[in-house]
Amino acid sequence: MLKPPSALLSLFSQFDLSSRPNIVAAVSGGSDSTALLLLLREHLLRHAPNTRLVAVTVDHGLRSSSAAEAEAVARLCAGKEIEHRTLRWSEAKPSSGIPAAAREARYRLLAQAAREAGTDIVFTGHTVNDQAETVFMRKARGDGLGLSGMAPATLYDGTIWLLRPFLGERRAVLRNHLISQGVPWAEDATNADARFERPRVRARLKDDTPDLTTTVVYAGTLFEGIFDRPAQPGGEIASLLALARRRGRDRADLANRGAVLLTALARLAAPGLLHLDPSFARYRDRPAALHALRVLLATVGGSEFLPPAERIEAVLERLAKPPFRGTLSRTLVAARGDGVWLARETRGLPGPVPVEDGAIWDGRFRLRVEKHAGQLHIAARQSAAAEIPGAPDARLPRSLARAAWAGQPIFQSSASGPVRTDPPDGICLVPVAAPYARFLPSFDLDLAEAVNRLIGAPQIPAPPFREHIGSKA
């Protein structure tokens, strides 16, 4: 199937790019990212001519051909007058978990390139095929929320928007477009390496969209009618995509309802200490209360992953019948007559570690360093043997207030130096919601915004869509 270029170019009209002086496109040299590069360039020439496009290739150094592929992308960019950079993953490679480590390195380097280019936007070439593979793998693991698949936009590290304009397009459509333009692409051999999960899934999910690379060519002309042949609507890919769309809508709606609940019934009683109104545990919208509580537990405890829904459902029942006290996801939970209280448990608090720009301390605070920090260390009050006073407010539960105080960060000029409670000049400590600190999919925007307001975290930057997409994702 060959779509007219105008149909593919229209995929970029949902983004507000004219206000950005620069944007980044992640280009590996494969068909998807090569099509992204050329179509995005054409869109900018037509609709945002003053926006500079920077193509970035991440060379993971895992294959002998990767450097040559990066050079090929550089030559293509030079011929199209597109600025290009190659960033190399130079750290030591792990002995296991290579795909996950490579993914983390790729996004970290792309975010670095975006910041250096002065932009908050990185486009990637993920397609329908990638989406179907992702949902298939998550379904096999029973991943409830993850069945929504990849979001059209994801905020990385609190600052960089990863945008995926091709999530509704099949890889064959993009390849057919490149063929029609006479543009070659590279084939990554690891995409067929059965040692890894995604290639195995890719082999199973056979795409039913006609690909011009497999059609008969007679006398240099494509067989008559091939461009107008419709894609087959059925198959496993279509089923997985329908599941992703349905779960994506459900997830965004659940996030919206959870945000309404937190706005009405949750407050920050003291640094590190959250209070939920007594009616929270009996809230009529049970799924929203369950989801909001899972997010709060992960946020207070500094955990990237939400606790299991089945376990928290039982806890929610107990919270409705105080008194109750327990520890979940590194969080102390206490239900009393005056409501539910949450604080970081005092076990497992980090000892002194050097201050580094961008580091997330204990899953709860992001460090921003504007000048050299020297030997400066950050630690929890308790692990640094700092004095922990009684509850600063008699209305607060004494033991939880002390736990919250003990878990607050302090600074030391060295690992054992004198303690100071406020960061020095040039050092900023920013609260973060751990489940969304690295990756915030647009499905969860409404709830993440509510949590950020609750814990005093910065406002989430507006996604670069022409309309707000939180509950509409």
Query: From the DSSP assignment, how many helices (H) and strands (E) are in the chain?
Result: 12, 21
pLDDT for 472 beyond 80: no
Question: Rounded CA gap, 281 and 317, in Å?
Answer: 7
Based on the domain organization, do 165 and 69 belong to the same domain? yes
Residues 101-106: contacts with CB under 8 Å, at least 24 apart: 102/60, 102/62, 105/58, 105/60, 106/26, 106/58, 106/60
Based on the domain organization, do 164 and 276 belong to the same domain? no
Position 472 in a domain? no
Question: Rounded CA gap, 110 and 157, in Å?
Answer: 11
- Structure confidence by residue, pLDDT tens digits, 32-85: 999 999 999 999 999 999 999 999 999 988 887 889 999 999 999 999 999 999
Position 468 in a domain? no
Question: Rounded CA gap, 278 and 147, in Å?
Answer: 32
pTM for the model stands at: 0.90
Position 85 in a domain? yes
Position 256 in a domain? no
Containing domain of residue 43, as a range? 5-244
* Structural domain total, the chain: 2
Whole-number pLDDT of residue 294: 98
The pLDDT-based confidence of 473 (bands split at 50, 70, 90) is: low
- Structure confidence by residue, pLDDT tens digits, 263-318: 999 999 999 999 999 999 999 999 999 999 999 999 999 999 999 999 999 999 99
The better pLDDT of the pair 28, 96 is held by 28
Based on the domain organization, do 220 and 83 belong to the same domain? yes
Mean pLDDT in the chain?
88
Position 173 in a domain? yes
Position 89 in a domain? yes
Query: Which CATH number characterizes residue 87's domain?
Result: 3.40.50.620
Based on the domain organization, do 207 and 313 belong to the same domain? no
Position 23 in a domain? yes
Position 409 in a domain? yes
The DSSP annotation for 155-182 comes to EETTTEEEE-TTTTS-HHHHHHHHHHHT
Which whole-number Å values give the CA distances from 417 to 250, 375, 384, in the listed order?
51, 10, 9
